[in-house]
A and B are shown apart, each in its own frame.
Chain A
């Protein structure tokens, strides 16, 4: 690997990690689309900042553009406060307007702004190693890497110092307010952080793909853990993996690096979305089908129990009657009867179903449970009568 290659991957990983950290809080606070709004809306700020400062990596530009991001958040809040439109429409109006202004400024080539719309959409991470930071005659690396290192440090410091406040205001802002933790201040601090990070990442990956790096790793981590700290670490790891894998994918097919990074993020999310233990699509489907079978066995047992009196019509307990009474089709009845037989809940006398002793105590326990509506006990019931092993 050549030095520029390593530097590009270093910058890509820095961007991914810096984005993933605030992203976790955006996902948990249900504010993911705010990052979309900010990333579009900072464009005019960047153009104006570029006119003033002359470089995409100047601190002045970062502050100016980040201020535009914060301005967007405030504007959206002001508009939704008038109740003329709902919040989602307010977001959807503000950022395209600001983004349009930015695009027009760029395409009118105001005072030779050297950013074209391609850079706006995809960033220029491939060229990042050419912008060197030279201090006292020494070349200490790409400018953008230093900018991102500073922003990453800021992100880590913020989360480290205000972890308790962030956590509380994210999960229970009412409690946070009543305990004097100033959730509003924390919110604006977080929005400032998102804005600064977005601006820093803009140079590398452009306006829109920042959203992928902020939200997708965090959402993927959200499917894998219940613990905030673990979620932060998983999101960071996923960010790094997508950044590096994205870089190599882009090299391999000779396409946009930032686009490939977003694609890898999406790929990882998709894999987790399907296969995650407990929260993945597959385990959800498996769980629902298992619950359906369990419930059917319970229904069958209760049905037989209800018709086991001396004077009851034997017809009700016939296997072939199930489809009429419980509106089960023949195959399903057959399967449920077989499963209950295997579990020893019922016995068959030709066509006639009756409960075993185990089946009877199962019904008693189940009925008690249903009438008490005490859900946690269901797992003990499951263990005791092994309706369907886990």
Chain B
């Protein structure tokens, strides 16, 4: 399969459509819910929950003996939810801080999951082949019923978000105010944590437990750079998520036998890098440009004011100075002087001497009086 096959397959081939749709649901869901995780500074909670869902997956298989998607989702969600519960219990009741609580729960649950997984490998059950795909994800294993389950969960989560939109916005940006209005902290945490757990669960089969958290964080972190509005951020993050999911799956199905998870994650991180660099307003390039502009305008001001001060010490405010004298003024460099001339604030005489123009005098006077830049 090459890229052309995959992307035309999205419109023609049934299997590709199923897989494409599944990864799109997954990207949408993690993009949308990641916004809450990132804005609430809970990015790493997703990491802990994702790792922690492994024993749930294995347990569901051991108890049921089948690889029923809904059962596996249920086991994963239960384990993930237990993990969030234990993390908050550790943080609330002991002096262990949240970072260590996350690390403890993540590593211990995952270790226990690996114990169960190796235990399953030694069980005499032919069905077990394929639980490993939950580690790094394999989009090719997505079946029609998996995608239906994923779609149902995504729809449920998005309906919950729409219904609780105002409340979620409030508890995301001003939890103290929310508490003062009578929302209980426990209730707020539970709603958001449950949503995060659901978005993790939905990605297990495609992205895997180890890397799922990145797909939660990356689209939201990228979207944050482009907008300051939460609604805009959610839409954009959803789009980035879908893009990462579908493009990543495409690339991995072309390079045969590549686990989907790492590819999807790298695609989503590329989107983040692009956003970091190019986003208007916040991006690194915009910042560098702004900084450069500020520096230039500061130099212009300093030089203009320096010339103004020097001229004022003479009888004639339009007193002309040679370049040698101007060179000693603070903020002087050739470009700055040129720029001042270009703006019509200074002019050069026939004797190669510089003086302020009328405009320059009034601007410099104003700037000094008001303390503002020109």
Interface residues in chain A, defined as those with a beta carbon under 8 Å from any beta carbon in chain B: 26-27, 30-33, 35-36, 40, 79, 82, 84-86, 88-89, 91-93, 96-97, 99-101, 103-104, 107-108, 117, 121-122, 208-209, 211-212, 214-216, 218-219, 222-223, 250, 253-256, 258-263, 265-266, 269, 273, 279, 281, 284
Contacts and interface: CB of A to CB of B under 8 A. Distances in A.
Main secondary structure of the interface of B (DSSP, over half): helix
Residue of A92, A108, A222 ringed by the most chain B CB atoms within 10 A: A92
Nearest to A33: B99
Interface in B37-60: 38, 41-44, 46-47, 51
Interface string B302-341: 0000000000000000000000000000000000000000
A262 B108 contact: yes
A100 B100 contact: no
A98 to B, nearest CB: 10
A88 B269 contact: no
Contacts of A89: 38, 41, 43, 217, 220-221
A273 B111 contact: no
A30 B96 CA distance: 9
Contact of B266 (A100, A121, A209): A100
Interface of B: 38, 41-44, 46-47, 51, 89-90, 93-97, 99-104, 106-119, 122, 135-136, 210-211, 213-214, 216-218, 220-221, 224-225, 255, 257-259, 261-263, 265-266, 269, 272, 276, 282-284, 287
Contact of A96 (B93, B220, B257, B269): B269
A104 B119 contact: no
Given A99-B210, A99-B262, A260-B111, 4 more contacts: A89-B217, A223-B95, A259-B112, A265-B107
Contacts of B47: 36, 92
Contact of B269 (A97, A261, A263, A269): A97
A127 to B, nearest CB: 14
Contacts of B269: 93, 96-97, 100
A121 B96 CA distance: 26
A100 B108 contact: no
A121 B221 contact: no
Given A259-B118, A279-B94, A92 B106 contact: no
B110 A85 contact: no
Residue of A31, A40, A103 ringed by the most chain B CB atoms within 10 A: A103
A254 B119 CA distance: 7
Given A84-B225, A86-B43, A219-B100, A100 B112 contact: no
Given A108-B258, A254-B122, A215 B107 contact: yes
B251 to A, nearest CB: 10
Nearest to A100: B262
A262 B106 contact: no
Given A104-B258, A108-B258, A31 B99 contact: yes
Contact of A103 (B116, B136, B257): B136
A375 B303 CA distance: 62
Nearest to B269: A97
A92 B43 contact: yes
A99 B135 CA distance: 13
A18 to B, nearest CB: 16
B43 A273 contact: no
B114 A258 contact: yes
A219 B96 contact: yes
B113 A215 contact: no
Nearest to A272: B94
Contacts of A212: 104, 107-108, 110-111
Contacts of A100: 211, 214, 261-263, 265-266, 269
9 nearest interchain CB pairs? A262-B111, A266-B108, A96-B214, A212-B107, A100-B262, A259-B114, A259-B115, A32-B100, A32-B103
Contacts of A40: 210
B94 A273 contact: yes
Contact of B276 (A82, A88, A99, A256): A82
